[in-house]
Structure 1
Amino acid sequence: MSNQKKRNFQIEAFKHRVVMDPKYADKTWKILEHAIHEIYNHNASGLSFEELYRNAYNMVLHKFGERLYSGLVTTMTAHLKDIANSVEAAQGESFLEELNRKWNDHNRALRMIRDILMYMDRTYIPSTHKTPVHELGLNLWRENVIYSSQIRTRLLTILLEFVQRERTGEVIDRGLTRNIIKMLLDLGPSVYAQEFEAHFLRVSAEFYRVESQKFIECCDCGEYLKKAEKRLNEEIDRVNHYLDSRTEKKITNVVEKEMIEDHMLRLINMENSGLVNMLCDDKYEDLGRMYNLFHRVTEGLSKIREVMTSHIRESGKVLITDPERLKDPVEFVNRLLDEKDKYDKIINLAFNNDKSFQNALNSSFEYFINLNQRSPEYISLFVDDKLRKGLKGVSEDDVEVTLDKVMMLFRYLQEKDVFEKYYKQHLAKRLLSGKTVSDDAERSLLVKLKTECGYQFTSKLEGMFMDMKTSEDTMQGFYSSHPELGDGPTLTVQVLTTGSWPAQPSAPCNLPAEVSALCEKFRSYYLGTHTGRRLSWQTNMGSADVKATFGKGQKHELNVSTYQMCVLMLFNDADRLCYREIEQATGIPASDLKRCLQSLALVKGRNVLRKEPMSKDVAEDDSFFVNDKFSSKLYKVKIGTVVAQKESEPEKLETRQRVEEDRKPQIEAAVVRIMKSRKFLDHNNLVAEVTKQLQSRFLANPTEVKKRIESLIEREFLERDESDRRFYRYLA
């Protein structure tokens, strides 16, 4: 076996060439052509798709692909021409129904034909770069049916007519319309765009141009916006139901331009119904609609913002300068808070809490609040009113909310140091009279101010609270060391650190002998326990509780100021005193004494004294005596004093001068800080940096900054540059 010679096998070609029937291609094509006819004629149920596929397969295999492909084009074209004729013959509304029916038939036929010719689709068509069967079927439909001169114009006219009818309130067959639009899309995006979309947008623009003009002439702003919104929603709904989704942006742009953008200014400024009227009447729904519609167009929101800003500034200017409204500081601030609440609510409910609108509101408030130099004073007076009396029937949380609102107004103030000046005065009176609503509320506001402006702003205010606490401890020590004082008058002293409390003009009065003796004992005790200190009595800031017995033996405890106590004690030894005798005996300054006597003799229900002659004002020749008929349901009767109130013009000027004086060292400190770090700087940049550094406390006046720079040059902290006098150099 191993030695046996191996045989070589060889496969050779057939000796005889296979001869193909010369009529094979014609016969096979006839079979396939007949099948295509049957498919289009709805007689496909009797066909053997397996046999048809094999025939088409063999034609391609035997190099008759071109014959098969060209035969398909010819046959399909003939059928589509018949279909076109059938569609053209349809009348009225049946035109679209016939077109839709034939389109569905064509698609069904196309799927079957593609299955039969699958092998040609996979091999012959890619190698010859011809159009695939399905795409070929769509192209032929487009060329022979859609682009038929009788169908093309009629189709567009009917589709546009359907849209127009729907816009006027008629009901159309949306399902049929959707099918026809989908047919155009299936034929290619360019077919849909050219045959329908471009014409649809053009006709729509004209429709809305005419309609918007008609609406703007007969509707008010709110009604117009409702109609515009309705039209916009209708177009979006139309796209969702039967148009291409990419058309939505295009058609909404048309509606926005024709109905909103082209009429923006006219709508905003419409008389009796435009933006200003909506703002005044709190028309949240209309404002929200305007915001949402104008948001869609270029510059829409900025136009609303401009008009809103202008309106707030103008109305704020009226509010802040109206002499009637300036009479009551508390009412003045309440109106500001109401105005702020009003626009906050509008921005929140109607303008989607838009930050740009909130910023515009803030800048508007900052603008007009600072038009009135008394705004810092009035805001402090408002705080004083709330923290002195409290808010009747409300919780601490509500007090907190009110304080938060006040802090919003405080942020708008450019002269925060002026507010601080007044706030310190008002806080001092509240603390010393014990008439603050609660320590928690006071400290809460202090924390807010500290958070807003830093420790430096509140350090002296905190010192005031510290003094009050220390004074309590001091009084305990005083009475512990003087147990014999338990039976007589009781003295409570608050020792105030000079630097922390507002400077008060010292106006001592002649205290009653028993009180004066007690004061001297306290002075000895205090100076004995502290070295290097001086005490001066601020009787104008004190209060007293006085027990009084009137004509018929009725007894009351009167809560009065120290000045009022001094006046009342005089009537222990006299039945009747004239103004001059009271003035001489007490030594109280004339302006304070007149206010004191007014509150004792002229306030209904609190008039423990009587005056002759009776009049509203106290004159120097008036005389006073105890009102024996005084009665009150309460045992403890508080005799009011003139509490924190608007300053008179001279007092206002004096406060302003004190503020200006306090600013000088702050400006100088800022200049030195900046120059120390920069060493060399020009005048304009130095002024700008100083202004920026101080803006949390006040708006520095450039002229004053220049004066302070000159003063620093004189004192050799700075020098001018020799080559360019606009520059300053820091002298170390």
Structure 2
Amino acid sequence: MASDALQHCKGKLKIKFIINIHEQCLKIVSATPNNKQIFIDCLDKGFRKFIKNKVVSTNTNSLKLARLLAEYTDFLLRQRNKIVEDTDFQENINKIMIIYNYLEDKDIFEKIYNKLLAKRLVNQWHTSNDNEELVIKKLQVVHHSEHILKMQQVLQDFYLSNNITNEYQLYCKKQNFSSIRFSVMVFNSHSFSLCNSSSLTLPNKLERILNSFTEFYNCYHTGRKLICLYEYSKGEIQTLFTKEKYYLQVSTYQMTIILLFNNMSLWKVKDIEDQTEINTKLLLQILCGLLKSKLFICTELDQNKVEEDLKETDINTNYTIKLNDSFTSKKCRKKLNKPVEPNDTEALVKAIDRDLKVGVVGDFDGQVQDAFAHINQILVEQYYADYII
């Protein structure tokens, strides 16, 4: 996790560095007499050459720059504090559009960005619908493509999902169906870019709600098939076995496992797997997290190891899991739903990388170092040529 955070930080710095290069060059152009078009054309030509020969001299570097730019845009769209004001945000996006305009492989950026957009919406990481629309509109001005049309469709589906949830609640009232608090997002699979879920057998209560919603949805949309993406679903459950009452924010996989303990107090790992049909690798990952949170106890495991460095491989399918009756938390609402969804962005990048059939990644930092001097030289040479004549 620390390594990922460090790489993400380096990525933001690289994008900011490239933007800064363009800004410094633009200042030079602005200072020329009458701000002649010849200098603007020269900047465009020089910066395009810099991006092509210095930053993305190989296909791998082209992929890397597109990914860094997409992730930096994603970072800006997730900011929840007031530090990034609307004017600052628009200014930052305009700077990003400058770099995007120079990308030759814009489709790579758009594929990665579309994946990040879907994750923001599903996980409710975005902070402003207006900002999401703004970015898509600016992308469309520069490059009208199928990927951008898919982004627009994803955003439109997101808006419509709120209406679908409200209509379903009214449907439940008319049918006298007592439903738990329930919300849903429905996306068109043609435009939505997240992976399908692993198998899962839901508890009866959740299965009943899902079947009810499917019946409701099919009344209005015949011929469509709903596929649940459990990796991106979540919920909240209340503990009844503890002295204090806690609200646990959990993934659908976690909820399914925890609710099994309403029926029996002890479960073997292999029996949990049989009941839920969660694949072994994913199940052990989830159980590892629940054991570390101290919601579950496994007598076959050394408690000191659980607290220090428990791994999925330490859990045997013959081990017995039980609820921790002494479970406590400093917070009445505890978040347990650590992300278990696959790294779709990483998988997409690897797939693009294979398609490009590239070699070893070059030294990005080293290639950037002499960039400003290179472009500066082009501008100065053109400046003198203009006035010598």
Q: TM-score, normalised by structure 2?
A: 0.72
Q: d(CA) in 1 for partners of 2:277 and 2:351?
A: 24
- Alignment partner, residue 727 of structure 1: none
Q: d(CA) in 2 for partners of 1:452 and 1:384?
A: 18
User: Is 2:38 aligned against 1:340?
Assistant: no
- Alignment partner, residue 490 of structure 1: 181
Q: d(CA) in 2 for partners of 1:386 and 1:590?
A: 37
What amino acid sits opposite 2:213 in the alignment? F
- Alignment partner, residue 331 of structure 2: 633
**Cα deviation, residue 463, structure 1:** 0.9
Contact 2:266 2:320 in 1 (8 A): yes
1:384 to 65, 74, 80: 74
Q: Say which SS state the counterpart of residue 263 (structure 2) adopts.
A: coil
The 1:582–1:647 alpha-carbon spacing in structure 2 relative to 1, beyond 3 Å, is farther
For residues 231-250 of structure 1, the aligned pairs below 5 Å read: none
What amino acid sits opposite 1:480 in the alignment? L
Contact 1:508 1:538 in 2 (8 A): no
**Cα deviation, residue 645, structure 1:** 5.2
- Alignment partner, residue 538 of structure 1: 229
**Could you say which structure has the greater relative contact order, defined with CA pairs below 8 angstroms and 6 or more residues apart?**
2
What amino acid sits opposite 2:257 in the alignment? V
**Cα deviation, residue 359, structure 1:** 4.2
Contact 1:403 1:445 in 2 (8 A): yes
Q: d(CA) in 2 for partners of 1:577 and 1:375?
A: 48
- Alignment partner, residue 251 of structure 2: 561
User: Is 2:198 aligned against 1:507?
Assistant: yes
Q: Say which SS state the counterpart of residue 469 (structure 1) adopts.
A: helix
Q: d(CA) in 2 for partners of 1:409 and 1:609?
A: 49
Q: d(CA) in 2 for partners of 1:607 and 1:400?
A: 45
Contact 1:325 1:332 in 2 (8 A): no
- Alignment partner, residue 242 of structure 2: 551
The alignment covers a number of residue pairs equal to 332
**Cα deviation, residue 594, structure 1:** 4.2
More deviation, 398-407/347-356:
347-356
Contact 1:424 1:502 in 2 (8 A): yes
What amino acid sits opposite 1:422 in the alignment? I
**Cα deviation, residue 470, structure 1:** 2.4
Q: Say which SS state the counterpart of residue 193 (structure 2) adopts.
A: coil
User: Is 2:308 aligned against 1:617?
Assistant: no
Bigger radius of gyration, 1 or 2?
1
Q: Say which SS state the counterpart of residue 571 (structure 1) adopts.
A: helix
Contact 1:464 1:500 in 2 (8 A): yes
1:522 to 213, 217, 224: 213
The 1:499–1:404 alpha-carbon spacing in structure 2 relative to 1, beyond 3 Å, is same
User: Is 2:126 aligned against 1:432?
Assistant: no
1:573 to 235, 245, 263: 263
- Alignment partner, residue 150 of structure 1: none
Q: d(CA) in 1 for partners of 2:356 and 2:255?
A: 34
The 1:501–1:647 alpha-carbon spacing in structure 2 relative to 1, beyond 3 Å, is closer
**Cα deviation, residue 560, structure 1:** 2.5
**Cα deviation, residue 422, structure 1:** 1.9
Contact 1:329 1:378 in 2 (8 A): no
Contact 1:449 1:458 in 2 (8 A): yes
- Give deviations 1:431-453, integer Å, cap 9, x for gaps: 12222222122111111111111
Q: d(CA) in 2 for partners of 1:340 and 1:328?
A: 19
What amino acid sits opposite 2:270 in the alignment? R
Q: Say which SS state the counterpart of residue 461 (structure 1) adopts.
A: helix
**Cα deviation, residue 468, structure 1:** 2.0
- Alignment partner, residue 407 of structure 1: 97
- Give deviations 1:696-728, integer Å, cap 9, x for gaps: xxxxxxxxxxxxxxxxxxxxxxxxxxxxxxxxx
The 1:340–1:659 alpha-carbon spacing in structure 2 relative to 1, beyond 3 Å, is closer
Q: d(CA) in 1 for partners of 2:24 and 2:222?
A: 62
Q: d(CA) in 1 for partners of 2:342 and 2:270?
A: 27
Structure 2 unaligned spans of 5+: 33-38, 358-389
Contact 2:231 2:341 in 1 (8 A): no
Q: d(CA) in 2 for partners of 1:572 and 1:473?
A: 34
User: Is 2:114 aligned against 1:416?
Assistant: no
For residues 134-173 of structure 1, the aligned pairs below 5 Å read: none
- Alignment partner, residue 190 of structure 1: none
The 1:410–1:573 alpha-carbon spacing in structure 2 relative to 1, beyond 3 Å, is farther
The 1:418–1:625 alpha-carbon spacing in structure 2 relative to 1, beyond 3 Å, is farther
Q: d(CA) in 1 for partners of 2:284 and 2:91?
A: 39
**Cα deviation, residue 495, structure 1:** 2.2
Q: d(CA) in 1 for partners of 2:355 and 2:256?
A: 31
- Give deviations 1:618-651, integer Å, cap 9, x for gaps: 1241654445333133536363315785855x66
**Cα deviation, residue 428, structure 1:** 1.5
1:588 to 278, 283, 300: 278
- Alignment partner, residue 53 of structure 2: 367
**Cα deviation, residue 485, structure 1:** 5.7
1:454 to 135, 139, 144: 144
Q: TM-score, normalised by structure 1?
A: 0.41
Contact 2:267 2:321 in 1 (8 A): yes
For residues 70-219 of structure 1, the aligned pairs below 5 Å read: none
The 1:329–1:589 alpha-carbon spacing in structure 2 relative to 1, beyond 3 Å, is farther
| Superposed CA RMSD | 3.4
**Cα deviation, residue 517, structure 1:** 0.7
Structure 1 unaligned spans of 5+: 1-323, 661-732
Q: d(CA) in 1 for partners of 2:162 and 2:109?
A: 29
